[in-house]
Amino acid sequence: MPWGMAAQSAAAGLCGAAIVANAALVDGGLAAVPLQSAGAVVVALVASLVLSAELRRQGRVLEAENQRRRGAEARLAQLNAALEERVAARTAELESVIENTTDAIWSVDRAGRVNVINRIARNRLGIHLGAAFTPDSPFRDESARVWKVVRGLHDRAFAGEAVQVELAVEAPDGVRHAQVALHPVRAGDRVVGATVFSRDISQRKRDEQLHRQHQTELAHVQRLGTMGEMAAGLAHEINQPLGAIANFAQGAVRRLQAETVTPAALLPVIEQIAAEALRGGEIIRRLREQMRKDEPHQEALDINALAQASARLLESEARQHSVALDLELAGALPAVAGDPTQIEQVMINLLLNGIEASAGSAGARRVVLRTTTESGAVAVAVSDNGAGLPGPPADVFAPFFTTKRHGLGMGLSISRSIIEAHGGRLEALPADAGATFRFTLPAAWRGGHGVFGGSAESLGGDSACGAGVRRA
Ligand code: ADP
């Protein structure tokens, strides 16, 4: 009885009434009523049986469905439990990684409340999970100034910025350097906090400083070595103005003693003496500038003027080896930023190598220094017609690689470091005959500080050098 007893009884009552009415109206009496009632009861019974069978079948289907669902739910619960276990294990792993990393890691909400903080950050900042990151926080070894900086960084991250900075902090054991990265934490469109990763890079900074110092010393030693090689030639060169001065002075004395000269006639002689004395002084000044070791500094460099000054210093060296030293200088070079002594040192190294390589050549001996501009950079190429490189270019740039009897093998290695510290490149170009070394420097480079020591004011660009100069 799918609709319950009341409904079934009402339906049976209605059927009975219908049978009685039918008998009364169709058969004209109530004689056939019992027979019809029996028929109706049989029909109702059969219908009930069919309905009951159908209901049982539906019940079984539902039961099977329920069982399947319960099984699926049980499997789901098992999977959930396993997942939670894995999430918990993974979280513990991550927590352990964060806890044991050497970086200080923390995250704050917008009120400055710390919701993640690892051991290093706790130790360094003296602040704990849940505490508010405020100016009164008991920073263990960070000063109030640091707090101000950190708060400023938090604020930048709250404004949606991903921040990367390096901080230098005064600490009892000296200056500490930290590389700090902050990222905003978002919920939808809103920034609800910030995460901070702070790495102590003090040791790296110290190593870099030490490396710079070593390179500075090395560059200076190499420069002294090079200057030592050139000193003999320069001493010879200085003899020329000294000899000229002596000659002019003796001539003047003789003419004065003979009383054959007027003061006006002596004037050009004395001017010559003064000019020669200046020339001698200039040679000494150039030598001293090259030997000096100052703090690295940057200034706008006229590469053509430096090329001329370098060529002047090597004039006597070139003459001694019968090598023609030619300059082909671009008309209008953009200024580059750098340390003049260091760039001149590179040019001298390349020119000296070129002169020494050409000196062994049986044919015409020539070294050319060309300056050009190329896509925002200034390029300097030094070519010679010597025997060419003794091996692959990578070899000649290796420290202490030398094929010379008294060579140090540091010239090219130091030159490359200097050029790279200026944001440029130094390479050996393939050449059919001889060798070409070329370096580029970015025009008006504004990068970090120079790496090597040694500095001098920019060398003058007068053209009193014996080397041939051509403007391209
Ligand atoms: P050093 O001049 O003291 O040997 P460098 O680093 O300046 O040190 O040069 C290393 C080596 O590279 C030289 O010994 C030489 O073999 C090679 N080299 C440098 N310049 C040239 C050049 N212009 N032509 C041929 N070989 C060169």
Going by their DSSP bridges, the two strands 324-329 and 468-471 should be labelled as parallel
- For residue 388, how far is its CA from the centre of ligand 1 (angstroms)? 10
Backbone dihedral region for residue 185 (phi beyond 0: left; psi -120 to 50: alpha; all else: beta): beta
- For residue 428, how far is its CA from the centre of ligand 1 (angstroms)? 11
Other C-beta atoms within 10 Å of 242: how many?
Answer: 14
Cα separation, 393 vs 435, whole angstroms: 10
To test the pocket of ligand 1, the residue of 346, 402, 436 to mutate (highest count of ligand atoms within 8 Å of its CB) is: 402
The contacts of residue 445 (CB under 8 Å, 6+ apart) are 336, 337, 338, 422, 423, 424
In this prediction, residue 472 carries a pLDDT of: 42
Q: Residue 302 phi/psi, 5° resolution?
A: -95, 100
* Residue whose entry in the numeric block shows the structure tokens 């560059």: 219
In this prediction, residue 139 carries a pLDDT of: 52
To test the pocket of ligand 1, the residue of 353, 369, 389, 418 to mutate (highest count of ligand atoms within 8 Å of its CB) is: 353
Q: How would you write the pLDDT of the chain (472 residues) with one tens digit per residue?
A: 556 667 767 776 787 777 778 777 776 766 766 777 777 778 777 887 888 888 889 999 999 999 999 999 999 999 999 999 999 999 999 889 988 888 999 999 998 888 999 998 888 777 778 877 666 655 554 556 677 788 889 999 999 999 999 888 777 777 888 899 999 999 999 999 999 999 999 988 888 888 877 777 777 777 777 777 667 666 766 777 888 899 889 989 988 998 888 888 889 889 989 988 988 887 777 777 766 656 567 889 999 999 998 998 888 788 888 999 999 999 889 999 998 888 988 999 999 999 999 998 888 899 999 999 988 899 999 999 999 999 888 899 998 899 988 788 888 988 998 899 899 999 999 778 899 999 999 987 544 443 333 332 222 233 223 344 444 4
Nearest alpha carbon, ligand 1 atom 21: 353
Cα separation, 434 vs 436, whole angstroms: 7
Cα separation, 439 vs 418, whole angstroms: 11
Going by their DSSP bridges, the two strands 104-109 and 190-200 should be labelled as antiparallel
In this prediction, residue 468 carries a pLDDT of: 46
- For residue 390, how far is its CA from the centre of ligand 1 (angstroms)? 8
Q: Which atom of ligand 1 is nearest to the CA of 384?
A: 23
Q: Which residues line ligand 1 (CB under 6 A)?
A: 349, 353-354, 357, 384, 386, 388-390, 396, 401-404, 407-413, 435
In this prediction, residue 315 carries a pLDDT of: 83
DSSP 443: B
Q: Residue 395 phi/psi, 5° resolution?
A: -65, -45
**Chain centroid to CA 181: how far?**
15
Nearest alpha carbon, ligand 1 atom 26: 389
- For residue 338, how far is its CA from the centre of ligand 1 (angstroms)? 25
Q: Which atom of ligand 1 is nearest to the CA of 434?
A: 24
Cα separation, 447 vs 331, whole angstroms: 26
Q: Which atom of ligand 1 is nearest to the CA of 387?
A: 25
| Contact (CB, 8 A) for 154 and 161 | no
- For residue 402, how far is its CA from the centre of ligand 1 (angstroms)? 6
Pick from 154, 153, 124: nearest CA to 137: 124
| Contact (CB, 8 A) for 341 and 226 | no
In this prediction, residue 52 carries a pLDDT of: 81
- For residue 444, how far is its CA from the centre of ligand 1 (angstroms)? 30
Q: Which atom of ligand 1 is nearest to the CA of 414?
A: 6
- For residue 225, how far is its CA from the centre of ligand 1 (angstroms)? 15
3-class state of residue 85 by DSSP? helix
Pick from 257, 251, 254, 243: nearest CA to 269: 251
